[in-house]
Structure 1
């Protein structure tokens, strides 16, 4: 029989995280978010080996950067990750700020508004950039039917509170796996809007280009768009200079084409966005292998 109980290491790591979050919640929101950013930049990143991976990825994708520019990003990228996690665990304080600011913008916004009234499905192509949950909060605030596919955490102890935290921002959520996939497809067929990530290395994906380097990219967003006659738009929650607020940018709809061409268009769009905001993409991923 399979033992799904968390390991001792997982329980210890989860307990440490919950202790940190308990202390962080004692701070007001506008101090809590940067405090968690500092913690990730100066404590979590070196312990987790993120700094080396960020440097390696930057030297591969951006060999034009100077060493001081790389070292600044080595601190800024984990800081954004820490801020994002703190925002997810801030619940109503986070979503209320999004609702109050109504940060949606961009050339694809009019297409989303039109699609909502027609009942057509939407594929929201998103990346590990800024805070991708800002996008879900902004769409849900308008009453739009946004759902998302998510990958359960390897640490089951962490997963037990992580899933309720992301569910509180917007729902439905669909876990990767057979049951989640079936529910996701029913939702899409019924005119739902589905957020799908596309910026991680996928062993079974097509070899496309990102930062003019070969990498395997999942074709699922384009394939579902074609199968269900959906609208496909790139979308990103862009953190603003104050570190607390966002613009949620909806890119122009991707033209219907064969899946590889559609996904290459998304890779190209994301690359332009990342080049403008280098500190906000998750350079910790092993995007190139």
Structure 2
């Protein structure tokens, strides 16, 4: 019964999402993006986002005032809605970001690796709009791939993959074949993005916001295996709500996978504290073990 309920809930959420995107896509771009943000913010309580944001903030940032939490309960879904509308805007979105400069201490590393045909592992969190930097790097002529997890709903998955493929390719599914293709792409001097900021049962118990958090080591492990640069990258939404700053942070020195991944966590935490509304606080990043210990 629980699985059926979850499936029904997923279908309703998917249908609602598609309906929202169809509505806002009829608007001009400058009105579409903020409108999508407002719509998702209004739907947040019904989608469970408001509760999840409040719970995560209580765990990670208990010092925040009631007013600050209330603000983030609206601002985080607004940021999510804007991001989704941007991704579904296809070429209109790409045209706005592909010529943006790549800033930050890692920008030179990316350019040098591209010119020397060396592999780069890009470390990315669910921050800002993670497809904005992908489109910007491709706009600079860089060969950029990304790993994605296929969605349970095959119809929605096909639509999703088609949408993100229009922004930049190649994409590699989390499968044996996808892993093989991704490694070949890296050997050929490509750049591949790995996420690292969601709970992963088989991950290492590292620190995030001063709390234990199971974290995947795959980005660091792949960088070590392929002798690739490991570069954290962000697309930081600007105050106007429409534009971005593409920021490549300093490369993470090679040591061991846990030390390198902890540095990724620390860098992301620092970035989130500067732009609290731009991280996806609706993920269950810190979970409880069966023993009752929070992870």
1:218 equivalent in structure 2: 216
What's the TM-score, normalizing by structure 1?
Answer: 0.94
For residues 240-279 of structure 1, what are the structure 2 equivalents within 5 Å? 240-279=238-277
Runs of 4+ in 1 over 6 A off after TM superposition: none
What's the TM-score, normalizing by structure 2?
Answer: 0.92
5+ long unaligned stretches in structure 1? 1-6
For residues 128-143 of structure 1, what are the structure 2 equivalents within 5 Å? 128-143=126-141
Give a deviation string over 1:169-216, Cα, whole Å, max 9, x none: 000000111121111111111111000000001100100000010011
Deviates more, 1:198-207 or 1:8-17: 8-17
Give a deviation string over 1:207-259, Cα, whole Å, max 9, x none: 00000100111111111111111000100110000000000110001011111
2:61 equivalent in structure 1: 62
Distance 2:41 2:225 in 1: 42
How many residues are paired up?
281
Q: 2:105 aligns with which of 98, 104, 107?
A: 107
For residues 84-99 of structure 1, what are the structure 2 equivalents within 5 Å? 84-99=83-98
1:81 equivalent in structure 2: 80
Distance 1:77 1:261 in 2: 30
Could you tell me how far 1:84 is from its partner in structure 2?
Answer: 0.4
Secondary structure at the counterpart of residue 215 of structure 1: strand
Distance 2:9 2:198 in 1: 26
Secondary structure at the counterpart of residue 65 of structure 1: coil
Distance 1:77 1:227 in 2: 36
Distance 2:12 2:269 in 1: 37
Distance 1:61 1:10 in 2: 27
Distance 2:203 2:35 in 1: 38
Could you tell me how far 1:14 is from its partner in structure 2?
Answer: 3.9
Could you tell me how far 1:155 is from its partner in structure 2?
Answer: 2.3
For residues 92-241 of structure 1, what are the structure 2 equivalents within 5 Å? 92-100=91-99, 102-241=100-239
5+ long unaligned stretches in structure 2? 1-6, 288-295
Secondary structure at the counterpart of residue 132 of structure 1: coil
Distance change (3 Å), C-alpha of 1:167 and 1:283: same
Could you tell me how far 1:37 is from its partner in structure 2?
Answer: 0.4
2:278 equivalent in structure 1: 280
